[in-house]
Structure 1
């Protein structure tokens, strides 16, 4: 009976992770669109950073790549920690540049960390595949 319950809960967890991955991919695509078009608050945020439009566009490209990785099963376990790092930088920027609480970046960071944890087996499989094992 416990094996059946574990399999059932494993399926539920997998579905929940997929829903979360698709939602986060959508979030990052929308965020990247704002960076590519230069709409607010992206334009003023990157202006305040002082690194120019190239950095805003680079961040948008990283967000699109991360979003794509979240919906490719073999890459999801790698994309999620990369997005954790990206959103950690966003949270630091929010605190250091604007002095505000980084609520949204931290919430996104936590959700990406949940995905990374849930897809750690995929990360191990990818590592083994790259290593040729």
Structure 2
């Protein structure tokens, strides 16, 4: 093995470890973020009343967040989970800007969306429809 191939292996290992750390942190965050929605916390109920789609949407959002968090920790599902959570964050960003008229609060879901896209890119080999292109 040459020095350059050792460096490449070391760099790939570093990226792999960094992605896992990010996946674990975001999974924990979204387990906790889903709980108020799924358990009917009064603030979550009120927030989803303001959105105007009904409480079924609160359960859907909480369920998608929880399933996405679990998926981030399952190697075969990581890429799809990250894409799904990125889509949820697109919805959250749009909701903050247009429904709640609070563009400053849209920064957080937008940043999370970007992080999920980074994970999806890094784990693109686990995405079935992208796997044949990543080879």
TM-score, scaled relative to structure 1? 0.89
Asked if 1:64 is matched to 2:71, the reply is no
Equivalent in the alignment of 2:54: 52
Equivalent in the alignment of 2:122: 118
User: Contact 2:124–2:131 at 8 Å: present in 1 too?
Assistant: no
Could you tell me how far 1:41 is from its partner in structure 2?
4.2
Asked if 1:108 is matched to 2:117, the reply is no
Change (3 A) 1:127 1:118: closer
- May I ask how many residue pairs the two structures share in their alignment? 128
Instruction: Report 1 or 2 for greater relative contact order, CA contacts < 8 Å, sequence distance ≥ 6.
Output: 1
2:96 to 67, 91, 94: 94
**Partners of 1:124 and 1:4 in 2: CA distance:** 30
Q: Note the residue ranges of structure 2 that are not aligned, 5 or more in a row.
A: none
| Structure 1 vs Structure 2 CA RMSD | 1.7
Other structure's SS at 2:53 match: coil
Q: Note the residue ranges of structure 1 that are not aligned, 5 or more in a row.
A: 129-133
